Each structure stands twice: as structure tokens, then as C-alpha cells.
Structure 1
Amino acid sequence: MGKIFFRLVLGGIAGKILGLLREVLLAALFGAGRVVAANRIALTATLIPINFFTADALTAGFLPLYVQYRQERPAMARTLYRAVHLLLAVFSLLLTVALIFGRDLWVGLLGPGLDSHTADIAAAMLGIAALGVPFYVLYNLNTLVGLANDDVRLINLRPSCQSVGLIVATVIAWRTGHVSVLAWGFTVPYIVLWGWGAYWIRRQGYLHGGNDTGSHRLDRAATKVALGMFWRRLRPLLLIPVILQGSIAAERAVGSLLGVEVVAATEYARFVVDSCMALLAAPLGLAGLASFARMKADEVGAGLRRLIPPVILVAVPLALILSLNSRGIVTLLYARGQFDERAVDVSSVLLLGFALGIWAHVLGYTFVKVLNARGANFQVAIVMALSFGIPIAVNLLLYKQWGAFTIGAASSIGGVLMFLISARWLSVLGYSTRLLAIALPGAAVAAVAGYLLAGAGLLRLVASCVAILLIWTGYVTAVPSLRRTFLSFVLKKPGRSTDEPQPDGLVATKSATGEQ
């Protein structure tokens, strides 16, 4: 798993650099006004129904089963791929038609606070983005085929290609005045990615193997068995997309009620947090899906105990830096061109809310993917229902009192719930909380120093960040349990599953499979 994780991280860095350029350019040329708000609504309107039907079907239903079949029955793996590919192709074409003809209604539901002009722009953008749905869905399927073969190149290619497309579209929209061109920045890259992905997995021979001499009847029988197993894994997860996509829809609706600048600023703030998540949580989760699916039951606990300490030791200071310096970071990244003082105010408040729970999001996301890999999809359904359902209530009930901060705070609350519940089911909650308790004094001292040094200007931003990192590093180095735990992860060869030395006072908990 370690090799896959580091390849995903390195591949994600290039994409995030381009993504930063994309967001900075968008902020400078269009600010946080109606054009950006319409674009955010249109892309959300495109992705919600896609993810509603396919996200968990692919990562939790298809990938673990495909990995299992590749190891035991390669011909069944190929049969599963073909069956799921056909289902997704039909579904995505129907969804494209539905989005195009129902775009005005769908935009109205997601953006009840938008004025008519902004809603019209969003509907026009949605009609263009909908054309990319089939290519987006089928490319995602091909990336998982690559991942099952320990090939992360297709996954790493996505953010860079998408960012380049959006950058080009942003420049064209600004130069021509045709703002709907922004939506082509989503559609065109996924057409290119789909074509390359289909070519790549065939060139690499990932779909070869097994016995091709069976009759058509046997193929139909194998397809029925493969889809039956796929459905069995997917069935417990049917509630998840309802809650997850409902949470995103509620966030967009609340943002539109608070003002178009909140809709636009939400993604500027979220980009900063999501970039960190993409470099930590997503690689850990995706690597965990492939690696933990192959582990024996008695190896899972040791694998988790190797994974948790370095994540905590990286994510905690990251949360401190982002939350204590939210205004300085937003100013440094975006405050130029059309991005005015009001946009800075709103974005920094949102970033503060998102950053408070980033440590929990990183751990929780990873734990959920491990549960997926172990086939514990019923537990995953409960985790996701609570960690996204409760933030929906927070957003809807408190937005009038907390304003824009509500959206970020609700996300952090969801992250903490995801961490607590998934860690409990994996039998590592006690281990994780004791490690957090050992780290707390160092985090508190670093937070005080970072807060006192934070302020306007690049110099104070750098001083605050450096102080947090120096104090935190000194504390980790000075506390033997933290130092040994971190070094054990760094020095351990990837793939070993023997138990790691535990931090002082931390007793290895029951194996992760003990409660499944």
C-alpha cells in the first residue's frame, strides 16, 4: 500500500499546482460574482446525479470484487467489467438526456436564492456540462481497472487534464464574454480522458486473461453471477448516495440563500482544504481499497496501526495552519483582480470552518475506504448516513445565525463523526484517541504561538506557519512515543503486516475484523 500511496501523492501534486493556477485565475478574472456562482451550481448539478448512482457502485462495489476475481478467476473479472461498463454506458446516456431537458428545474432546486439572470447562466452551463457525463463515468471505471493492477497513472492524469481544460475555458470565456464556455472546461477534458483511458487499459492488457473459449450461454451465466455479487456488495450502500448528495445539495441551497458570493467563495475555500485532502486522504483511501482487500483478516489491525500515527502527525499541524491563518492564506492566493475585500471575508470564514475538522476528515475517509475493502458495507452505510445527515441539519437550522461559517463548520462536524464511528467499527478508536491525547499538549502550544503571530501580510503568515511547524516538530521529537511511532512508519518496508511498536500507553486494540 505504501508504494501506491506515494505514487498517488506525487501524481496529485502536479494536478494541484495546476488546480491552484485555475482557481487563482478564475478569482482574478471573475471574482466571486454571479458567473462563478452559476458555474459552481452547474457543475454541482452535473456531479450530484452522477455520484448518486455511481460513486459507491464503483469504489465500494466494483473495485473490491474486481480485485478478488482477478486473483481467483480472471475470466470473471473481465465479465464483471464488461457488464458494469454496459450498465454505466446506458445509465449515463439516460442521465445526459434528463439533465439537458430538466436543467431549469434542477438549477432552481439547487439554487433557490439565485436571481433569474444567474439561474439562466447556470442552466446554460448545465446543458453543456451534461454532455460530458458518459465520458466522466466510463473514465472513472477505467481508472479503477488500472488501480486494481497497481497502476495509478490514469488517476494521476485526471486532475492535471481537468485543470488544463478549465484554465483554457476560463481564458476563452473572459476574452470572448461568452461565460457559458466555462462549462466546456469540464466536458472536453473528460472526452479526451475517456479516449485515452480506454486505449490505455487495452494496451496494458488489463482486460486479458482467463478462458475465452466458453459458449455464449456460459458468458450469460457468468454475467448473471458477476452482477449478482456486485449487487450484493452494493445493496447495503444504497442509502449513502441519498445522504451524501443531499448534503451537497443542501450546502449549495444554503449558499445561494446567503448570497451568490457565498456560493462562489465556498469552492475557493474548499479548494484549499480539498487539495490537502487529495494529497492525504484520497491516496490513503484508494491505496487502502486495493491493499486492504488483499490482506488476511489478522493483518488488517496491524496495517491500520501503521497508518494512523503518521496521518495524525501530519494532519493536526495542517489543521492548525489552515484555521489560524485562513485570512492570510485566502489573501495570498486570491486577493487580486475582481476578488474584492468582501470575497476575502467570506472565503476566509468558510476556510476556517472547513479547516477545523480536516484531521478528522483524513482519518475518517481512510477508515471508511478500509471498511469498504473488507466488505463491511452495512457499517459504511451507517457511518455515512450520520456523518452527512447531521451536517444537513446543521446547515438548514443554523445558517441564519452563523452565516457563511455554517457551511464549513457543518463539514467539520461531519468529519469528526465519520472518524469516531468508523474508528469504533475498525476497533481503533481507543488507539486513535490515546494518540491524539498524547499529541494534544504540543498542538495547544503550537496553536497559541501560531495565533499570536498570525495577522495581515506575508511576513506574519510565514512566521505563524513556521512557528507552528517548529513547535510541533520539536514536540514530536521530544516525546519518545510519538517519535518512535512516526519513525516506525517511515522505516517500515511497504507491504509488511507485522505489528508495529505501540506508543507508550497505547495498547493494540482488537483486529479490525473483529466487529465485522
Structure 2
Amino acid sequence: MRDRKNNNIVKSVGILTVLMIASKVISLVREMAIAVFFGVTSGTDAYFVAGGFITNIFFGITAALAATFVPFYIETKVIKGEKETYRICSSLFTALSVFAVIIIIVLYIGAPFISKFIAPSYTGEALYEVVLYMRIYSLTILFSLLTSMLTSILNAESVYGYGALASLIYSITSIVCMVLLKKYIGVTALAISVPLSFFFQLTILLIKTRKFIHYRPTIHIFTPELKSLLLLMLPVLLGNATIELNQLITRTITSGTGTGAVSVLSYSNTLFNFVSTLISTTIITVYYTEFSSAAAEDEKKYNSLVSYALRIIIVVLLPISVISSIFSKDIVTIAFGRGQFDQDAIRATATCLSVYSIAFVFDSIRNLLIRAYYAKKQTKIPMINSCISLVITASTANVLSKRLGVTGVVISIVISIIIASIILLIIARKRLCVISLREMMPTFIKAVLSATIMAIGLWTMNIAMTGMLSYLRITLATIAGLAVYIILLLLMRCSEVLDILSLLKKEIKSQN
């Protein structure tokens, strides 16, 4: 039974990984297109500031909904049945729509005042662009909230991949809008593409979720179930708002360090998300559903799942961190090094990516543990942890940015991620579940030792391959580095790698 369950998890992770790779590649192409078409200018700064505000503050609501709705939906369907679940979901759908429309109206009216607050150094045309992009971007809130709810329903039903599909639609829509409209309206084409893409996503999800939920508009939106969900969401919302406020603070501080600095921060953050979440998001998405089910059924199974998922995160992300740190300039060159993206922008972004790579494992551990808390409907501790991260970032970013510019801001972000993840892990061992250090340490030691030997080899390769094309350098480094890392783990009998290989062999045999 356990092998069958693990096999299903591996299969789900595999399918989701393929979809995520496709979405991330297209997403990276989108960022490359932005860099080529617009470069690092005051216009892109205005776009990233406006979009960052909407995303970081109000999309925290979306993240809170996604985090709490999966266990809420599973429990409701098990206890109250399908018919009652339909009614509750219809009420929530209507309530979210009404709430989003109100927020959009408030944002449209208040955009000039908000823009002056989040970009205090901007004046004239730059400030006007922030206001314009914020008003256009705000339309996304309605579609984003509803797509988050529908995607959570599919995840709860173990139908994965539609989050990755949404990202594909978003990136493709952005690229098409840039190609067709850039000549006429410039960076505004990017802003228009965002709500348009979310509208397409919502349409697809409405069709797909009809298999599980039948929506009926209703005026009875303030139901007891909705109030219960809101109470569950509140600490998550505050925690997410704190995380997003953290990013808003870093963007605001960065905007005062020079023209193009916000764009450099955004481009390096894009690569950080591409490299780290490509793997960790797929693992966390699948395991979150398993956590939610196990939390209500079997405490021992829940503990085992959390501990095992943590070990998988460490084993998988350590080599990615090493490669990204040593070959950061090659990665940035391949991603953005063309058109208006000059050598100065490449160097600045590569430096930021090298710093970011230190946090890959810690960030993924933190996100996994947060989902483990949410699965048990414990939402206060992640909120407090987010507040700690905010305090650390706010207290260090302003000081470091004055000395190191945008690199100092990234260093402050990494410091806060590392400290917050360690604190969350310590508290989790005492108050959430049994995480055996005796089981964790052998895997950790083997992974660190293998990654260290891999890093020495790659550093030597980096020097030896001076003058080669970036594409060739990164390809050879990735193949050689991962080969060394995996072989060393196999020689040391790393159980997680052996489990994955065993399950893959069984899956291949079952397909033949």
C-alpha cells in the first residue's frame, strides 16, 4: 500500500514537473522578451512597481485562499457530502466576485495616492505610468481570486497541472501582446496582457471544474461555512500580506538606489523563482494534498510524509543551488543577455542571482513547512514567522542598500529567509509533528558532502571553460555536476534517491 501511494505521488510529481518545466520555460521566454523589447528603463521600473504592489499585497488574499481552501474543501466533502459542497462553493464564488469588484473600484480611485506612497522618488511621467499600470493591473484581482479557488478544487481532487497551464496562458498572452502592441503602446501592452490572460484562465477552469462543482449564483453569501473559512484565512492572509509587504518594502527601497535597480531585482527574482520553484513547487503542491488528507486520518502517516518531503527537498535543491551560484552569469546571459539588456545589467543581475541561490533550500523548506501547518489548520505560527521575516528584512535592507545597492537588498532577503526557515523548523519539531533528526541527518550529511565535491568540480570547470559560449558552459556544467552528485549519493546509499529510482523502475515496467 505504501509503495502504491509513493508511486502515485512520484507519478503526480513527474507529470506536474513536466508541465511546470514547460510553463517556466515559456515564462522565462516572456521575461527574455521584456528584456529584449524594453531593457532596464524607467518604464519597466514603473511596470514592476505597479504590478508588484497589486501582486504582493492583494494577491496575498489569493494565496491565503489557495492555502486554506484545499483542507476546507476535503473536509466539507467528506462530512457534508457533494450537494452541500456545491452550495458552499457557489456562495464563496459569489462572495469573492463581490469583494473583488469593490477592491477594483477602490484601487482605481486611489491609484494616484498609492503610487506616491510606493514610489516616493517618482515624479512626472514615471509617476503617471505607475498610476496607469496599477489601474489596468487591478482588473486582474477578480479573475485571480476565482482562478485560485477553482485551481484549489482541482488540487483537492488530485487533478494537478492547471496551475502550470495558467502560467503558460499568462506567458503566451504577454508575449503576443508585446509582439502585436509594443510598437503602439509600449510597456502598456504588458499591463493589458495580465488581466486578459487571467480571463482566459478562468474560462478554462470554469469548464474543467464542472465535473466536480455545479455553480449557481446566490444572494446568500454570508453563510456559517464562509465565516469559518474567513476565520481560517485571516492568519494566513495576515502572514501572506506580511510576506508581500516584505517584497513591497524591498522594491520601495530598491527604487531609491538608481534607475533600473527595480528591474534588476525583478529579473533576478524571476530567475530565483524559475530555478527553485520549478522543483519545489511541484513537490509541495502534491504533498500538500497528501498532508491535508493524512492530517485528518493518521497522525503517524502525517509525520512520515512531512519528514520524507523535507529530505526530498534537501536532496533535490542542493545541486541546483550550487550550479546557480557558480554559473549565475551564464544563466543571466542566456536568459536576458540580448537587445537592450547590456553587460552592466547582466553583471548586476548575476550578482543578485548568486546571492539568491544560497536561499534555495531554505526557502523551499519554509514553504513546505507552512503547507504542513495549513494542512492541520494551524495558521498562526506561519503568520508570526512571516512577521519575523519582515522585521529582519526591513531592519537590514535599508542599511545594506546604502552600501551595496540592489545587491544589499537581496542579501537582506536571503538573511531573512534563512533565519525564518530555521525558526519555523525548530518550532515545527516541538508543536507540529515528529521530525526525527536521526532520520534527517544522514540524508543531510550525504547531500552536503556530495554537493561540496560537486561544487569543487564545477568551480574547476568554470575556470577551464573560460571563453566558451554560455549555452555550452551551462549545459556541460549541469550534466557533469548532476552526474557526479547522483553517483556520489548512490555510492553512499542515499535512501531517498534509491526510493525514487525504484519507483521509476516500477512505473516503467508497468507501462510496458
User: Does structure 2 conserve the Cα–Cα contact (< 8 Å) formed by 1:64 and 1:289?
Assistant: no
Is the counterpart of residue 165 in structure 1 residue 173 in structure 2? yes
User: Does structure 1 conserve the Cα–Cα contact (< 8 Å) formed by 2:10 and 2:500?
Assistant: no
* CA distance, structure 1, for counterparts of residue 103 and residue 436 of structure 2: 40
Question: What's 2:502 paired with?
Answer: 491
- What's the TM-score, normalizing by structure 1? 0.86
Q: Deviations over 1:130-172 (max 9, x none)?
A: 2222112111111111111112243232011000111012223
Q: Deviations over 1:281-332 (max 9, x none)?
A: 2222222222111112110122123323332222001000111111121112
Counterpart code for 2:224: V
Equivalent pairs, count? 481
Question: What's 2:74 paired with?
Answer: 67
Question: What's 1:198 paired with?
Answer: 206
Question: What's 1:286 paired with?
Answer: 285
The 1:378–1:489 alpha-carbon spacing in structure 2 relative to 1, beyond 3 Å, is farther
Q: How does 1:337-486 map to 2 (within 5 A)?
A: 337-424=339-426, 425=428, 426-428=433-435, 430=437, 431-433=439-441, 435-454=443-462, 455=466, 457=468, 458=470, 459-480=472-493, 482=494, 484-486=495-497
* CA distance, structure 1, for counterparts of residue 187 and residue 226 of structure 2: 43
Question: What's 2:510 paired with?
Answer: none
* CA distance, structure 2, for counterparts of residue 236 and residue 442 of structure 1: 39
The 1:306–1:169 alpha-carbon spacing in structure 2 relative to 1, beyond 3 Å, is same
Counterpart code for 1:354: Y
User: Does structure 1 conserve the Cα–Cα contact (< 8 Å) formed by 2:287 and 2:309?
Assistant: no
Deviation at 1:373, TM superposition (A): 0.8
Deviation at 1:340, TM superposition (A): 0.7
User: Does structure 1 conserve the Cα–Cα contact (< 8 Å) formed by 2:397 and 2:409?
Assistant: yes
* CA distance, structure 2, for counterparts of residue 418 and residue 285 of structure 1: 18
Q: Deviations over 1:247-274 (max 9, x none)?
A: 0111110221112312112222122221
Counterpart code for 1:109: F
Is the counterpart of residue 145 in structure 1 residue 153 in structure 2? yes
* CA distance, structure 1, for counterparts of residue 124 and residue 435 of structure 2: 51
Is the counterpart of residue 49 in structure 1 residue 57 in structure 2? yes
Deviation at 1:470, TM superposition (A): 3.4
- Match of 1:258, SS state, is coil
Range that drifts further, 466-475 or 274-283:
466-475
Question: What's 1:513 paired with?
Answer: none
Counterpart code for 1:369: R
Deviation at 1:429, TM superposition (A): 7.0
Q: How does 1:121-140 map to 2 (within 5 A)?
A: 121-140=129-148
Range that drifts further, 127-136 or 313-322:
127-136
Q: Deviations over 1:4-57 (max 9, x none)?
A: 33332222122112112111111111111122212111211222332243421x
- What's the TM-score, normalizing by structure 2? 0.87
* CA distance, structure 1, for counterparts of residue 270 and residue 36 of structure 2: 15
* CA distance, structure 1, for counterparts of residue 321 and residue 278 of structure 2: 14
Counterpart code for 1:377: T
Range that drifts further, 223-232 or 252-261:
223-232
* CA distance, structure 1, for counterparts of residue 235 and residue 175 of structure 2: 39
The 1:309–1:167 alpha-carbon spacing in structure 2 relative to 1, beyond 3 Å, is same
* CA distance, structure 1, for counterparts of residue 443 and residue 248 of structure 2: 35
Question: What's 1:336 paired with?
Answer: 338
* CA distance, structure 2, for counterparts of residue 14 and residue 300 of structure 1: 31
Range that drifts further, 467-476 or 357-366:
467-476
Deviation at 1:490, TM superposition (A): 4.1
* CA distance, structure 1, for counterparts of residue 170 and residue 362 of structure 2: 28
Deviation at 1:345, TM superposition (A): 1.6
- Match of 2:91, SS state, is helix
- Match of 2:223, SS state, is helix
* CA distance, structure 1, for counterparts of residue 440 and residue 391 of structure 2: 24
User: Does structure 2 conserve the Cα–Cα contact (< 8 Å) formed by 1:109 and 1:253?
Assistant: no
* CA distance, structure 2, for counterparts of residue 370 and residue 273 of structure 1: 23
Q: Deviations over 1:326-371 (max 9, x none)?
A: 1121112211111111211211111112111101112221121121
Q: Deviations over 1:433-478 (max 9, x none)?
A: 5532333222222222222332554244444444432332232122
The 1:248–1:437 alpha-carbon spacing in structure 2 relative to 1, beyond 3 Å, is same
The 1:470–1:241 alpha-carbon spacing in structure 2 relative to 1, beyond 3 Å, is closer
Question: What's 1:243 paired with?
Answer: 242
* CA distance, structure 2, for counterparts of residue 274 and residue 7 of structure 1: 19
Counterpart code for 1:470: A
Is the counterpart of residue 272 in structure 1 residue 285 in structure 2? no
* CA distance, structure 2, for counterparts of residue 421 and residue 4 of structure 1: 30
